[in-house]
Amino acid sequence: MKTAWREWFVVGVLLATTAYVVAEELSLTTYYPSPKGAYQTLSSTSSSHFATYEGGVGIGTADPGTAKLAVMGGNVGIGTTNPGDFRLDVLSANGPIRISRASHGVGGMGGILFGGYNANDALTSYAFITSNSTADTPGAESGSLDFYTANAGTLGSPKVSIISNGNVGIGTTDPNVGQLTIAGGLGAPGPGIGLRRTVAPTDTWWIGVHDTDASLRFNSWNGDGYEAILTSAGDFGIKGTLSVGNFAGGSANAYVCVHPDGTLYRSTTGNCN
């Protein structure tokens, strides 16, 4: 009787030990909410979901703050495992990066904001590129692109705009007078184009609309004022001599004179009397 009891006792111990070993190898107990833990390697062979209800995911940080995804202390590669010195490196055969608004309508459609810290360690916006929807009718969509730069502490209005037909505006979002429209308000010398030669002989020219009388002027910075002027009334003025013909160093001089009847005629002596 004692022998039978001992045999059953041994069998019971073996069964309990086997169950414990099997449980150790096959079972995984989870908790909700899950306790915090640190993993050296976390791998998933199917879908993975993180912070689906609240909180955020931190990569390189244990405190993502209010961000849903915070990446600190490293470079990020999408389509590449070698982002090099780039904070974000996207490698694709032909796919662009898409920035979209979550709803339809006319207006801003998203953009890229360039920021940094100022001397007071305050995060500041320094430049901004934004896209706009100007029409969202299916099959007739149109858009524009605006470029902002900070001036005196604010981004203000767009500095450069490209509208749907390809026209470019500098200082205006409505470049409707040509493929390139330059607009400006008060402030010398006025809206115009600067041309600068940096090798000898050096000079800087400004061609534009003057801020005092809205005349079209040609100014040389090496001179003492405008070299030529065309007023809104159609009057034309020029400083110096108006030459035609062999202007670039020919042997014969040629001058343009105005006849009393208003016609122009050529003089080789410069005497228009």
Q: Other CB atoms closer than 10 Å to residue 133's CB: what's the count?
A: 17
**Do the domain assignments include residue 214?**
yes
**Do the domain assignments include residue 99?**
no
**Do the domain assignments include residue 92?**
no
Same domain, 146 and 157: yes
Q: Are the C-beta atoms of 125 and 150 separated by less than 8 Å? A: yes
The pLDDT score that the predictor gives to residue 3 is 54
> Count of domains in the chain?
3
How far, in Å, are 18, 30, 35, 38, 244 from residue 24 at the CA level?
Answer: 10, 14, 20, 21, 102
Same domain, 210 and 228: yes
Q: Are the C-beta atoms of 216 and 228 separated by less than 8 Å? A: no
- The per-residue DSSP string of 97-142 comes to -----SS-SSEEEEEEEEEEE-TTS-EEEEEEEEEEEEE-STT--E
Same domain, 117 and 173: yes
Residue 239's pLDDT band (cuts 50, 70, 90): confident
Same domain, 230 and 273: no
**Do the domain assignments include residue 89?**
no
The pLDDT score that the predictor gives to residue 122 is 94
Of 85-94, 110-119, 206-215, the range with the highest mean pLDDT is: 110-119
What is the percent of the chain where pLDDT is above 70? 75
Domain final position from 140, 159, 183: 183
Same domain, 201 and 247: no
The amino acid sitting at 113 is L
**Do the domain assignments include residue 70?**
no
Same domain, 199 and 224: yes
- The rounded distance, in Å, linking the Cα atoms of 194 and 25 is 78
Same domain, 147 and 211: no
**Do the domain assignments include residue 75?**
no
**Do the domain assignments include residue 22?**
no
Q: Other CB atoms closer than 10 Å to residue 217's CB: what's the count?
A: 22
Of 9-23, 97-111, 132-146, the range with the highest mean pLDDT is: 132-146
Same domain, 176 and 247: no
pTM above 0.75, yes or no: no
End-to-end Cα separation, the chain, in angstroms: 152
Same domain, 173 and 110: yes
Q: Which two tokens stand for residue 98?
A: 């898409």
Same domain, 264 and 227: no
Tell me the residue range of the domain where 209 lies: 188-238
**Do the domain assignments include residue 84?**
no
Residue with the bigger pLDDT between 181 and 188: it is: 181
